[in-house]
Structure 1
Amino acid sequence: MQPRNMSMSGVVDLAAVKAAQEAKAKAEQARAETARQGGGGAVSPADLVIDVDEAGFERDVLQRSTEVPVVIDFWAEWCEPCKQLSPVLERLTVEYNGRILLAKIDVDANQMLMQQFGIQGIPAVFAVVAGQALPLFQGAAGEAQIRQTLDQLVQVGEQRFGLTGLTVDPDAEPGGVAAAAPAEAAGPYDALLEAAVRALDSGDLPGAVQAYKNVLADDPGNPEATLGLAQAELLQRVQGADPQQVRKEAAEKPGDAAAQIAAADLDLVGGHVEDAFGRLIETVGRTAGDDRDAVRVRLLELFEVVGADDPRVIAARRALARALF
């Protein structure tokens, strides 16, 4: 559901809250059922940290991300900051006891994955949640910051996607994480959502957009389709753009709504969430009439891409309200 004016923003928020509540209830029911059955399918604590390469990425990251948020640690043997960060991530992953999975990717051995994620420096930490990738942080980070980020990630995974995590048994034999959990009964829109993901993977952005729209036509509040559509439309907008030219025009025309909107799209695709939001909020203050409305609508669309529960979105909503009123 794409907001077209300010009156729609409340509808979007209410739909997101309802979807979050339903997803949380499902997650709690799934955990209770697992406990009732004696914790079948448990994995060893040793299985919570895995090495991943390009060949196993779909199985070990994408598929696993439908059960548990997968944190990706991009590292290299020569990277000294990586040697400080990686042990902290590994320890915290075990401490979170199945609520996250840590996938370690050596960038020297997996250049294609590095390029696909747009990694420009390491250490770099991303997450994949229900097949959706999002940047967490780059460079050195303190343990308190990492804990806060992981807490937010777990919350988003549970509330927006109903991810129940992995059941951990200290006595389980290592190696259990490689076996996929039993599949749940297919939902009414699973085939359409899978078609959308396949279209994204193949670069068929118009096909992905249409597949997500097909789901939303019958189920306007579907959180996975709402997020997927926002992301697919964003990728479609930046496809073929010349980043250098877009940023040059934005720098030369600070009050031009179209130039700033195009640059904000690139900012977000590059993982610079705060820059994208800040750019558009500043442009709201510089523009009026239809231009201002176009900037505001695009900002609301980018909120959908990042997610209503993200603290950066919450802060940006407050800043937008100040800029508008």
Structure 2
Amino acid sequence: MLDAAAKNWIIDVDESNFEEEVLVRSQDTVVLVDFWAEWCGPCKQLAPLLCAAAKEKQGGFVLVKVNIDENQQLASYFRIESIPTVLAFQGGRPVNGFQGLLGPEELEEFLGSLGVTGGEPKADPYADALALEETEPAKAEAFYQTMLGEDENNGRARVGLARMQAAAGKDAEALEMLAPLGDTGEHGADVVKIRRMIEMRANAATAGDETDLRKKIAAAPENPALRLELGNLLATRGDYQPAMDELLVAAELDRELGRGAVRELMVKIFEIIGVRSDLADEYRDKLRGLLY
């Protein structure tokens, strides 16, 4: 739910009040009109970013939501052919806009091009909670629970709680917490990271003790399946580079395994450490060199 102040900055508009809420209001402030529809997946990904920006700018602009299915005359008048489409109004007329998704930085640049400024920066309870996750987890959890109590759709709070639950080995609870969130959008990367860690931990549960596993490898160094198990075990512990080294050995010993389970696990590690990170690029090239 929106707080009282945010309700003044984020409003739903239809054909009956478009002139007043957009054309007239834009004489005094920037108005962004978000043309969307319930069936539009990208619209639902963009909406939280627009709402977050409106709240952050604290009245620096007004976000107007127009459902094109319910306001077809408006959509036709402004020639809305694909959604999401966002039009910026100033002085009673559209002056700029974009179609499709923008990331937070691109959206910030777009707002900057319109001269949008915000109020005084406010304390970020999420940043406070994030800093407390390792040192005072109980306080961090309380922060996240409070944020979820105010808004059960708060993605950052859900991710934070799920991360803490996964760290405590409460994998089922973490997955349930993440269930409403997709693998794309504002929180997609964090969601994927947590899910991949849980998946690897489930696989590692059958690997047994690391010492025993290394003894088996010492006795059968050419066994690629054992190398794969060790790689998964190390990755579960957060030792990603040694894990990927073991996976490369497994791929070299068995190319078919390399193209299957090894590559699948390597991709999961990339998603945790950053798909385009230097380390991911390095080991992606090494694996490709071995397999192809």
- TM-score tier by shorter-chain length is 0.3 to 0.5
Instruction: Give the TM-score of the pair, scaled to structure 1.
Output: 0.43
Point out which structure has higher relative CO (alpha carbons under 8 A, 6+ apart): 1
